[in-house]
Chains A and B, each alone.
Chain A
Amino acid sequence: MSSSSDPSSKSAGKFSTKGFTETDNTQQPTTGRAPLVLNMHKFGEVTHQVCRVAENRPPMAWYIAFVICLSMLGFLGFCVTYLIFTGVGVWGLNNPVMWAYDITNFVFWVGIGHAGTLISAILFLFRQKWRTGINRFAEAMTIFAVVCAGLFPGIHVGRVWLAYWLFPIPNSMEMWPQFRSPLLWDVFAVSTYFTVSLVFWYVGMIPDLATLRDRAKGRFQQFAYGLASIGWRGSMRHWHRYEVAYLLLAALATPLVLSVHSVVSFDFAVSQVPGWHTTIFPPYFVAGAIFSGFAMVVSLAVPARQLFGLKDLITMRHLDNMNKIILLTGCMVGYAYSMEFFIAWYSGAMYEKFAFVNRAFGQYWWAYWIMVSCNVITPQLFWFKAVRTSIPLMFILSIFVNVGMWFERFVIIVTSLANDFLPSSWDQFVPTWVDIGTMVGAFGLFGTLFLLFCRYLPMIAIAEVKAVMPEANPHAEHAGHAGHHGDDHGAPSGAIPALREPRSAESSL
């Protein structure tokens, strides 16, 4: 961090800095744009700031977190092995409640996995430049979340060794999957989403892997990063095709990210079960997915920027923006909850009405009210800027949202199944230790992968961050080049959308 920055170029620091010591870039200045990179004016500083995380030994907290996550992952391995060798009876499933923790966790993790691609694709198309600080690890989070999600349908099929039946593979039985089933749509949607997200993440990372390769000291690092960066050398002819390909990927991933959770919701909405059979499900699920995904990004970004000293790149403005999205999607989710209730009453369908009254006041009333308080009430606190810019509060609220969204899926899945049409077949679901162990273990899998990512890969999109710095504008004048062009004023306006810092009157002359 360069503490010696000349005061003339540091215009953003002049805002009121009440409450925290960092530079406040959460307010929009009257001219120009608020800076997205603080305290740094050289490209080399950004490179160093990000690369040193992967180059140096991580802080002690990393080792502690890694050991915890690794042991949780070990327990997941144990639970899954026990399940496969014994059968799905080790879970608390029973006759009406044939989906419970497994599918709850699946939907929960797929939902978490929506934020990364939303940030990298949709915010890219909307030219939201603040995405550059957070897109890399949000995308990584997406991929690891989808890995966790993929685990659950895989193991809940019972006979895991037959899971390949999900795919249209020619076989000696002359049988093919049933493509009219939403469950098969889900297989295609989630696997396509995983593949595209992985490719998107990797393509975005190639230039940064090349940076790590060029800085690497050890032979092994040079070889590994060299192999991973596939010979990238920053050629502008390459960048040209790269940018077109990246734009295409963003344009393709945008409908994809909206479709994935829609398809997941079809698993429920296409069935006849009261409480599932509603047309609001696709948009409602997508909003919920973005809601939970952003909450997870905040939950991870807050400790990560603290631990690895990335506060100048993941600034308060980034966190503030994410909290605004949580607020927006939280309102959508709240609207969906109330609209579900309204339609249940307005439809006049007896079973539908019962399903919703039973959700709120039946045997799982506690789960419903945890869901409402975490998802509808707590995000409303983000209306206040003091909350949106308070690190401890936003961290706690994001955890609340994660908890609430897990319960949302639990409520939808379990309450609808436990009390369906025929009261004589009603039953209650009680999780076993294997259910809980698998759920906890999935967090271990997620955490292990994420910690390894933080340790060995560029956590922040270095090249993209550099490109949104005001210094990256090729038409801007910089120190030592004053008077090179006479046409500084007006020339780049509009044509170059690069981010520019507000400039004082004398420097523009």
Chain B
Amino acid sequence: MTTMSPNTKTSSDAPIGASLPVYGMMAEFETPAQIMEAAKKVHAAGYRFWDCHVPFPVHGLDKAMGIKRTILPLLVFGAGLTGTTVGFCLQAFTNAASFSVWALVWVSGYPFLISGKPLMSVPAWIPIIFELTILLSALSAVILMLVMNGLPRLSHPLLSNNRFRRATDDRFFIVIESRDPKYLRSKTEAFMKALGAKHVEAVEDR
């Protein structure tokens, strides 16, 4: 359409994106040291909705970005305790339970006497209590990590950007999202150029 006026602020190599809303501003760096310096400055500038995208965890970058330590270990500890409880109750019910609640509800597993050994043989239950503790902790560590990262995700604006493909290879990116209260396209772009980025461009919100 001829009515679409060329936007003055679009980046040079994404003319189609002129009409699309902008997800954020992306700056590309070449080394871990550069992104470390830049991240400190972005954090100091008071941006909130921003992120670094790196091919491997750069040591100390999370601190430089001001990321608070995750509460994941606490949650996993809770899951582990759940596993312990489940392991104990499962075995107590299936191998030792035989009682009624006020003669109304009969609770019975499969109490089976072997060599006159006690039914509540807790030491023999330890291996399974242990295994279930580990199982629930490990599964919850992974599932909670993914959920907290919002991860099983089929698409993302950044994944539609061709330049961003190198974020999993050898380039280091800082992205400031347009929903950040401090985001102002022209100012943010100038700010990111001043960080010493190799390249700065707007990412469309596809």
Number of interface residues of B (CB under 8 A): 71
Binds A, one of B3-11, B14-22, B151-159, B187-195: B151-159
CB <8 Å contact, A248 and B72? yes
Name the CB-closest residue of A to B175. Answer: A235
Given A42-B170, A176-B110, is A240 in contact with B67 using a C-beta cutoff of 8 Å?
yes
Tell me the minimal C-beta distance from B82 to chain A in angstroms.
14
A237 part of interface (Cβ distance < 8 Å): yes
CB <8 Å contact, B59 and A192? no
CB <8 Å contact, B170 and A47? yes
**A residues within 8 A CB of B110?**
174-176
CB <8 Å contact, A235 and B128? no
**B residues within 8 A CB of A478?**
31, 33
* Highest count of chain B CB atoms <10 Å: which of A200, A214, A473: A214
CB <8 Å contact, B132 and A231? no
A348 part of interface (Cβ distance < 8 Å): no
Tell me the minimal C-beta distance from B110 to chain A in angstroms.
4
Name the CB-closest residue of B to A263. Answer: B127
Q: How far is the CA of A473 from the CA of B34 in the complex (A)?
A: 11
Q: How far is the CA of A188 from the CA of B145 in the complex (A)?
A: 25
Q: Is the interface of B mostly helix, strand, loop or mixed?
A: helix
B200 part of interface (Cβ distance < 8 Å): no
CB <8 Å contact, A245 and B58? no
A189 part of interface (Cβ distance < 8 Å): yes
Name the CB-closest residue of A to B159. Answer: A233
CB-CB contacts below 8 Å: A408-460 with B: none
Binds B, one of A14-22, A383-391, A461-469: A461-469
**B residues within 8 A CB of A252?**
134, 137-138, 141
Residue among B141, B148, B152 making CB contact with A231, cutoff 8 Å: B152
Residue among A203, A211, A464, A471 making CB contact with B168, cutoff 8 Å: A211
Chain A proximity mask over B125-147: 1 for CB below 8 Å, otherwise 0 = 10110111011011101101110
* Highest count of chain A CB atoms <10 Å: which of B59, B158, B164: B59
Interface residues of B (CB under 8 A from A): 31-36, 39, 51-62, 65, 67, 69-70, 72-73, 76, 90-91, 94-95, 108-110, 112, 114, 117, 121, 124-125, 127-128, 130-132, 134-135, 137-139, 141-142, 144-146, 148-149, 151-156, 158-159, 164-170
| Given contact pairs A474-B58, A484-B33, a sample of 13 additional A-B residue pairs in the complex whose CB atoms are under 8 Å apart | A174-B110, A179-B95, A196-B135, A203-B142, A211-B168, A236-B58, A237-B65, A240-B70, A263-B127, A463-B56, A463-B57, A474-B35, A478-B33
Cross-chain pairs A/B with CB under 8 angstroms, 15 sampled? A182-B127, A200-B138, A215-B165, A226-B154, A235-B53, A236-B54, A236-B61, A236-B65, A237-B67, A237-B149, A240-B57, A248-B141, A471-B31, A473-B32, A481-B33
